[in-house]
Structure 1
């Protein structure tokens, strides 16, 4: 093999951890420990590499999409197109019912306009039942999840009870299994609701942003009174039974995610996730958040190395990022929006996910028009290949441009990721890789149930 002094490489990152160097491939999320020959090739310092070593390394680098070649470009296009076709197949396993486009809170960062999503009201049974029928008829899955969402979904608890009863009829009729989930602010949970959640094995996420000071600064009633004490009181029984997870929204009032997560786990939440409210975060805020999140990632690594699987699993967001590095592959979009999941508004319009409800241009169908959902322009726009800023980004195969609705809200364009969020994702990925290098992989695999 003739040595080539003009080698072109796919986007990558060289990471020095300890006394070793690692190569992270941004196209496939593959991670390799580098030997001296590889380092020299990447630095175009190839004169003194013996021919056989050069040939072996170049063959490996070509086969693993490290080196750009005409053959690799063709192969990648074929793989991407195959992934694109499969990712557009409408086969949802989750139906998000917006049972209440009303809310009893006035959270400062609400993307849904006080939970109304441009149309105030509660869903009627006829609409919810038709939505379930549409979902069942267009899904080939045997296990189906219905997520009750809002606004505050428990403001329409009677409808939730009726729909759960209806799905029990369908389970017997269709020999399919339904599971149930809900995201709620926790302020109206009572003993009846608690018993119902337990009886039907609901997966429930409580929106809670940290301690009372952090939470009440952004989540309050119409009279500006914070709701932290009500949430803690109403969820006590379910937390004691290990039935609740927590989701924190981060703003300039609560950038110390390390302390926030410790607080929520100490309260008894069995899983925690978090996300910055980008419309309320300055560059300084994001810097503080990044520093704090790096501490969280290191802590999860320590838990894994200590064999503390159950505690590590509570930080599910970090475990998912480790999994994306461990199980490399080529990806095109950030989530199953519009294909694996659909959201139905109170009048029966179908949207790719709950965050887009009420945004007419993003609508992908209606439950009263019994055809598979479709919005080709939308699906094309969330393909990472359409996002020019992502082409050479180290995080492109992990964040894939981020949440489409967050990007849309920031720029009214789903193809232009928000710069501060990009910085956050890149810094997070760098820490994830460094931690992944040093953790016990066998213990890690137990965190997502693999043998």
Structure 2
């Protein structure tokens, strides 16, 4: 399976099954486009008016060498592997702790309904959180590295319990030979020097929620009284990022139908000195005024192209920053199993409510049909877990001929459910944007290799 495209002056050919990426000249590009389904003589005739014969002969030799090296027109060898992989015993490696089902902002696009998650406002007790960590340890098997994300609502509204749970986790590490990687997502309203200091000591990563330009942020992320939050949080976030030496954090924003020129939001964050940036499309029903519509896609794709070209320009000027959706590892990256099955929601990764219920991930919280159990009894509805174990790119018809399938791993199960009432479908708008992001990310890699003379 081949995908080829032109971007920023580069002719890029992707061999999907092997993961090989080729930047080629025009004649090789055009021949590859015709290679399957045509004889060599036919192709030579079809392109005779465009290229000299000797150039085409040389191009054919190059293509045939790549085929022999199994980096072009390769076969898919993974389907049987994923079936065997899903037969393995399930271990839990990560929890999303909903430390607070409450929030001090009223973000207009919040899927958590201002922190309530289709239910009641609540704060997780230390006892529930402690039991959640015990559950994680007990169900992690031989896995040593475990992850816990303090999430909300707004987790800083329950800061004392966060600190106590980190302390408890550090104690249990020594007893059980485990290593906890704690992370935190915050809107920054309650952020202060003491919290920053603690996070810099204990949190492997922090996610700082800000949508970019002040007018965009304040429109979508106001306080409950309608006033904006940008002026309060931005100085804190700038200080926090610097205190972490511009690593192990993200400023994370959301773009909507109201700011389709979102590249300007990304660049506004970069211009403030942030080096780790993620600005992602809102996921919302088409009935919402801020929802991304299908007709928005051409403009949004243009924005990704604009942003990718600007990143190349800034990289060459020594002004590098990381944009999360353009970060791609063509040499290492996730293992095969992760590439095929995604985030592990419902199996390796679970969300925990303030009262201890277990759900496949934070986006399913409050949906009764996905209540899997609790931190005392464990996963009691194993049929839900088994359904998620079978959720992979080979279970999704829309992934079959998609060139991005090994990069997105089939997309988000929650988005699939919310739009199609099936976890093995796909959110179509999200798929289109993902494909564009992959193309842009690979172009940036091509430009970097070009700059280095590779």
Question: Common fold, TM-score beyond 0.5?
Answer: yes
- 1:13 paired with 2:3, answer yes
Give the secondary structure class of the aligned counterpart of 2:419.
helix
Q: Partner of 1:334 in structure 2?
A: 342
RMSD: 3.5
2: CA distance, partners of 1:325 / 1:257: 30
Q: Partner of 1:66 in structure 2?
A: 73
1: CA distance, partners of 2:31 / 2:294: 40
Q: Partner of 1:137 in structure 2?
A: 138
Is the 1:380–1:386 Cα contact (8 Å) retained in structure 2?
Answer: no
Q: Partner of 1:118 in structure 2?
A: 118
Q: Partner of 1:155 in structure 2?
A: 157
Q: Partner of 1:5 in structure 2?
A: none
- 1:226 paired with 2:221, answer no
Aligned with 1:403 (options 412, 428, 433) = 412
The runs of 5 or more residues in structure 2 that have no matched partner are 45-56, 285-290
1:273-292 mapped onto 2 (5 Å cutoff):
273-279=278-284, 280-292=291-303
Give the secondary structure class of the aligned counterpart of 2:208.
strand
CA gap of 1:265–1:251, structure 2 versus 1, over 3 A, is same
2: CA distance, partners of 1:106 / 1:127: 26
Bigger CA drift: 429-438 or 16-25? 16-25
- 1:128 paired with 2:152, answer no
Q: Partner of 2:329 in structure 1?
A: 323
CA gap of 1:371–1:357, structure 2 versus 1, over 3 A, is closer
2: CA distance, partners of 1:59 / 1:190: 56
Give the secondary structure class of the aligned counterpart of 1:301.
helix
2: CA distance, partners of 1:61 / 1:429: 26
2: CA distance, partners of 1:151 / 1:187: 12
2: CA distance, partners of 1:62 / 1:76: 18
* CA deviations over 1:283-318 (Å, ceiling 9, x no partner): 343332221111222233345556x5xx54532331
1:438-449 mapped onto 2 (5 Å cutoff):
438-440=447-449
Q: What's the offset of the Cα at 1:115? A: 1.3
1: CA distance, partners of 2:89 / 2:330: 22
Is the 1:209–1:248 Cα contact (8 Å) retained in structure 2?
Answer: yes
CA gap of 1:57–1:248, structure 2 versus 1, over 3 A, is same
Q: Partner of 1:180 in structure 2?
A: 182
CA gap of 1:128–1:359, structure 2 versus 1, over 3 A, is same
Q: Partner of 2:35 in structure 1?
A: 41
- 1:300 paired with 2:311, answer yes
Bigger CA drift: 419-428 or 208-217? 419-428
Give the secondary structure class of the aligned counterpart of 1:182.
strand
Aligned with 1:263 (options 263, 268, 271) = 268
- TM-score when normalising by structure 1: 0.81
Is the 2:95–2:349 Cα contact (8 Å) retained in structure 1?
Answer: yes
- 1:369 paired with 2:374, answer no
Aligned with 2:218 (options 198, 216, 240) = 216
Is the 2:257–2:292 Cα contact (8 Å) retained in structure 1?
Answer: yes
CA gap of 1:255–1:45, structure 2 versus 1, over 3 A, is same
- TM-score when normalising by structure 2: 0.80
Aligned with 2:442 (options 433, 437, 447) = 433
Is the 2:79–2:394 Cα contact (8 Å) retained in structure 1?
Answer: no
* CA deviations over 1:359-390 (Å, ceiling 9, x no partner): 23233442111469842453156322222122
2: CA distance, partners of 1:370 / 1:329: 28
Number of matched residues?
Answer: 421
Q: Partner of 1:382 in structure 2?
A: 391
The runs of at least 4 aligned residues of structure 1 exceeding 6 Å deviation read: 17-20, 441-445
* CA deviations over 1:302-336 (Å, ceiling 9, x no partner): 45556x5xx545323312xx315876985322323
Is the 1:30–1:328 Cα contact (8 Å) retained in structure 2?
Answer: no
1: CA distance, partners of 2:32 / 2:184: 50
CA gap of 1:142–1:19, structure 2 versus 1, over 3 A, is closer
The runs of 5 or more residues in structure 1 that have no matched partner are 1-9, 446-451
CA gap of 1:366–1:381, structure 2 versus 1, over 3 A, is same
Q: Partner of 2:49 in structure 1?
A: none
CA gap of 1:269–1:92, structure 2 versus 1, over 3 A, is farther
Give the secondary structure class of the aligned counterpart of 1:253.
helix
CA gap of 1:348–1:439, structure 2 versus 1, over 3 A, is same
Give the secondary structure class of the aligned counterpart of 2:280.
strand
CA gap of 1:426–1:278, structure 2 versus 1, over 3 A, is same
